[in-house]
Copies of this chain bind each other. A is one copy, B any other.
């Protein structure tokens, strides 16, 4: 906090120039995530994003220079959370037994999918083709979590807790099992009347997956 040029502005934000800039950037990223995950990369418009963020369209070019860079920033913002939380957890649980680690991983995945249903949507939307954006996504955000999970899965298979199959299969089986319920939430709601994002329902889903995998 150094040179304060303005005080609180019309929207009630009291920030330094740099602080204001960062806040604008953040607001745009947040809006971008919502719009990109709802409409896909091509379907999303920068005007729509600017409008949702309550900022000017010209600022998108200023802060991100292109729609593609904005997309990357938005994706970074969803994955930043998982990566960090997961590796923290991994450290703490390094010496727990394999069943406990698997169960907690699954519960984590379900809660994360429930708190950020956009993530799986982004993955599925980009998973359509082997594009440059796809390469970037895998190298930057998928390989890490996969390489953390693979040894755990292998260990469970060796211990006879899981039937024999390659880790990739289990990775996508478990991620799919944990996530689809939430990335199809309005569908679930229309089908049964339940709200998937209700706390009790989230826990029920976590229990269902964990109990199915570990028995």
Residue picked from A43, A142, A173, most chain B C-beta under 10 Å? A173
Chain B residues contacting A192 (CB-CB under 8 Å) are 168
Q: Which of A32-40, A70-78, A79-87 is near enough to bind chain B?
A: A32-40
Chain B residues contacting A169 (CB-CB under 8 Å) are 181, 204-205, 208-209
Chain B residues contacting A91 (CB-CB under 8 Å) are none
Chain B residues contacting A204 (CB-CB under 8 Å) are 165-166, 169
> A162 at the A/B interface (Cβ < 8 Å)?
yes
A207 with B168, Cβ < 8 A, contacts A42-B39, A134-B186 known: no
Chain B residues contacting A170 (CB-CB under 8 Å) are 208, 212
Give the distance to chain B from A138, nearest Cβ to Cβ, in Å: 5
Residue of chain B at shortest CB distance from A184? B127
- A13-56 residues with Cβ-Cβ distance < 8 A to B are 37-44
Chain B residues contacting A127 (CB-CB under 8 Å) are 121, 183-187
Chain B residues contacting A178 (CB-CB under 8 Å) are 176
Q: Beyond A121-B124, A168-B192, list 17 extra A-B contacts (CB 8 Å).
A: A39-B40, A42-B42, A42-B44, A124-B125, A127-B186, A130-B189, A130-B190, A134-B187, A134-B190, A137-B187, A142-B187, A165-B208, A173-B209, A174-B177, A175-B180, A176-B178, A176-B179
Contact surface of A with B, Cβ cutoff 8 Å: 37-44, 120-121, 123-130, 134-135, 137-138, 142-143, 146, 162-163, 165-166, 168-170, 172-181, 183-192, 194, 204-205, 207-209, 211-213, 215
